[in-house]
Amino acid sequence: MMKSRQAVEWTTGLFVVLGFAAIFFLVTQVTGQGLKVNQSTYSLTALFDNVGGLKVGAPVSMSGVTVGRVQSIRYDQKRAKAVVVLAVDQQFNQIPNDSDVAIYTAGLLGGNYVGITAGASDVVFKNNDQIELTQSAIVLENLISKFLFEKAKDGTAKP
């Protein structure tokens, strides 16, 4: 049970470092705040009427493959729309500039993510370009009320 003084000090130091590293990891990698590691990405902006439950950090995918992350979401009062900035991985720099972007839902109660459907243009998006064609998130309540409204219309129209 009696280790040499040096061994005890060394092991304790290791333990303390490990513990603080764990705390550091939890604070930065697990919470919403924390340091952002700089990756080689470029930014694309999109305006939405409704972002639904989209959160910062949600994936951006094309054809189902993740190509980037949502970097920031804010509301622009003047344009009365939500401004979403996407951080797209540098290697995906061949996105046609007539592609459209929509907010999808993963699963029934799942989180939202951004999907880009490629267009046909020869010109590609560059850093800080804005995606013109956007489709907002489908909000469940709107869908249900729309359905009921249609149902009611059919009901009254039929003789």
Partner 1 sequence: MNITLGIRRVGQWSLFSVALLARSAVVLKRPRLLIEQIYNCGARSLIIVMLSGLFVGMVLGLQGYDLLRRFGSTESLGTAVALGLLRELGPVVTALLFAGRAGTALTSEIGLMAATDQLVAMDMMAVDPLRRVGAPRLWGSVIAMPLLAAVFAVLGLTGAHVIGVSLMGVDAGQFWSQMRASVELKDVVEGIVKSILFGTALGLIAVFEGFQSEPTPEGVGQATTRTVVVSSIAVLAIDYLVTAVLL
Which residues sit at the interface with partner 1, rule CB under 8 A? 8-9, 11-12, 14-16, 18-20, 22-23, 25-27, 29-33, 55-59, 66, 69, 106-111, 113
Kindly tell me which of 14 and 144 has the beta carbon lying closer to partner 1. 14
Q: How far is the CB of 127 from partner 1 (least distance, A)?
A: 22
Kindly tell me which of 66 and 121 has the beta carbon lying closer to partner 1. 66
Contacts of 27 (CB under 8 A, 6+ apart): 33, 34
Kindly tell me which of 34 and 153 has the beta carbon lying closer to partner 1. 34
Q: How far is the CB of 28 from partner 1 (least distance, A)?
A: 10
Kindly tell me which of 3 and 126 has the beta carbon lying closer to partner 1. 3
Q: How far is the CB of 8 from partner 1 (least distance, A)?
A: 5
Kindly tell me which of 56 and 124 has the beta carbon lying closer to partner 1. 56
Q: How far is the CB of 44 from partner 1 (least distance, A)?
A: 18
Residue 94: closest CA among 67, 56, 57: 67
The answer to whether 112 touches 52, Cβ cutoff 8 Å, is yes
Q: How far is the CB of 14 from partner 1 (least distance, A)?
A: 7
